[in-house]
Chains A and B, each alone.
Chain A
């Protein structure tokens, strides 16, 4: 299970910051990667957008270690099976079924609860591994880099996210790049974080999805702040919303073709605008104050 720490222990000097947004394409990865390289001290970047991981395109890490991420699924020994059907009865996900003298399993529906293995009176069901994706770890300069990649065609993202988060090092500042949305993969990425940075854009879509994502962060009881990207496009309703909800605005980044073009080539924002490093360091200090 993930060794995710609880809320920030004041004075320890380290924390887990998750970058989320609701809406996709608002600049989560830009903030996560640039924050990671701007901070002073031991930092790790964990890309938990395992469906579409992109942080590596900017961090260009040297990958030192690759491992398969698997999940246990049932394997039925038909010599032992007496076709009683108890496995099908306990399974809430219709991942195993008994028809006459046949047992069918549907690995992609299996949630790895092991209920079928526990309930089988003949002990005919054992574990086998199903591959969900891969996990890669490495270094990008001084920053420790970890990401997961869900196998194409695979549905179960949360177990891959959990495995990425097992690499959270309590002695480092951990920056998590979360997937878009508000459902289970986002919750898996956010859970256990000390602070959430919500990256949004001041448009109706940005605001609508921000509100949903803030709802998810609040359910988890994580303190949060907002970064408004391309702050000069759209309207001012995000600012109004933040004021009404008392959510701190940590940073505003104007729309700039230079940033967009650098992004399109996989170039870090701080490489074309070195002054951004100081601004991101200030964001971190603000977060320390808010959490502390």
Chain B
């Protein structure tokens, strides 16, 4: 029943489909506009925002530089406080650990805190395949799950849905998996949230096991941190007997002190709030209080690969705030599904190729899903230079095809350009052709080109293209001695 991103087409074609969805376009333009304005207002209040960004980038950078040592320390601290630490190389290993933990305790349902990493590894699908139900308890994740849908945003995964659609999903689906929505359900946000609250309450009270991710993991104390807005996370983290947290290895910070800039940057950048509503921290097992069995799965799944890329490793600083998505003009129009991953938008365009490696057409299309306008870099609270990494990954995509026996037309075109731009005389000769075309066209009174055949159609299908001038600047300068002669 749950959907996956497997087999998604490359970005340009997925984007074309999304652009044609008028409801999606309307929902996204409205929602990103609202979040953008909220973020701008609360960021504007902070006098030393740039210093704070620098501090945020620096603490994450330092943590990543000695990641190995911090991870070993984290394991020791967690173990000393009664937690069990598991290491997972990839998604399959992590999923098996969680499934085995549930099975050994004869558990057939888990409640979930909103977590990107469990979506990354497809945990819900793995649990489902083993007959274990995974209930999403974050409101937006619940909407996505009940709708048999895919998340399209890191922070607000149902951003592509409006309240009328949500009402319809709740009415149709809630009764099939638990407490039904009330008959008089309206599309008022408070009424919809109330229905979700009633629906989820019985799951919170019944479930024996919870699964979470973590926003941060403090190495020296062995503390995990989850930041959320609805209180559902706190219910999951405190009510069940067993708590399993899957944590990407890049989430480690050395001490509590590093949390200071990060917890100030995150809410303003993500939800546009001054302070995060529910910040839960827990350190191993506390006798007779909260879960009495605490497991932590430390997951690699490509992070070591990303760390080995000197330009790309800055992406591991990401604190999943989604500010880059909200300001991205491409994301605003295509939505998240077009990126074919749980990590959409500008950060997804670099994170997916960094974690998975380039080489398949869908992943290879992601670094090109950007105009390099730089709005993402400007908004990023930990100063990830996303345009720089995008260009770096484009080069990786191109370099992987350098040995192709049959080069792509684009590669041939750029080889031609390299030849022409190598010497001005060659360029001059090439430009002579365009001036000739310009003279012929303009003699017939044509100042712009109509629809071009072949690759030119990508431009002229929806845009005019000026006819070339009859004389290049270079030729004009030569003929008139830089305008000195008529």
The answer to whether A and B belong to the same complex is no
Residues of chain A at the chain B interface (Cβ within 8 Å): none
